[in-house]
Amino acid sequence: MRLGVEDICSISELVRSRRLSMGYSRSALSELSGVSESTIKRIESNGLVTLGSYLRILDSLKLKTEIIWKD
């Protein structure tokens, strides 16, 4: 699966919005997730990080993730 620019922007906005609604600073989310603050900043700005970083961040923000295989 390949994400388009629109998808990455939506995920970036979702991560930032959810982090702020939960009252987390980037520093707090970094400690909670084990992902560096610079990676969180990249997720929120351009979305270009590893899948593992995304999964740790989304899990820390209590967001459900699924990977669905297409036939």
All domains of the chain in start order, with CATH: 5-60 (1.10.260.40)
Q: What is the pLDDT of residue 8?
A: 54
Q: Which residue has 């970036």 as its token pair?
A: 12
Taking the C-alpha atoms of residue 65 and residue 46, their distance in angstroms, rounded to an integer, is 19
Looking at residue 61, what DSSP letter applies?
A: T
For the stretch 12-71, pLDDT in tens is: 888 999 999 999 999 999 999 999 999 999 999 887 899 899 999 999 999 887 777 777
Instruction: Write down the pLDDT at residue 27.
Output: 98
pTM for this entry: 0.79
Do residues 58 and 30 make contact, with C-beta atoms less than 8 angstroms apart? no
Determine the pLDDT at residue 38: 96
**CA-atom Rg of the chain in angstroms:** 12
Q: How far apart are CA 70 and CA 56, in angstroms?
A: 24
